């Protein structure tokens, strides 16, 4: 596994641990930060981001709620910072 993929996974977990992510984050939230956002950025290509999310889902570190129009990602343990 590439070091960059591990970095992307770590950045995803950091973003999901942020107080702004208490209700989860959409995929687009990982790629785009607005000026008012305080959570850390996730830096990686779309392919790396998708692969990292896939691995985190397989390892059950995160969950995905796809019952709405867009999938929402959460930390598996439900912890909220």
Q: Is residue 10 part of a domain?
A: yes
- pTM, rounded to two decimals: 0.87
pLDDT in tens, 19-31: 989 999 999 999 8
Give Cα 51 distance to the centre of its chain.
11
CATH code at 9? 1.10.10
Give Cα 74 distance to the centre of its chain.
7
Mean pLDDT for 32-40 is 83
The residue range of the domain holding 50 is 3-75
CB 53 within 8 A of CB 62: yes
Per the structure, how many domains does the chain have?
1
3-state helix, strand, coil in the chain (%, to 5): 45, 10, 45
Q: Is residue 80 part of a domain?
A: no
Q: Which 3 state secondary structure label does DSSP give 14? A: helix
């Amino acid at each position: 596994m590439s070091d960059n993929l591990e970095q992307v996974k770590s950045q995803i977990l950091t973003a999901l641990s942020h107080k702004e992510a208490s209700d989860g984050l959409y995929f687009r939230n990982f790629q785009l930060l607005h000026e008012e956002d305080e959570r850390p950025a996730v830096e990686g290509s779309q392919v790396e981001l998708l692969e990292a999310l896939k691995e985190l889902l397989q390892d059950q570190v995160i969950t995905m709620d796809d019952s709405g129009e867009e999938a929402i990602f959460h930390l598996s343990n439900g912890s909220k910072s």
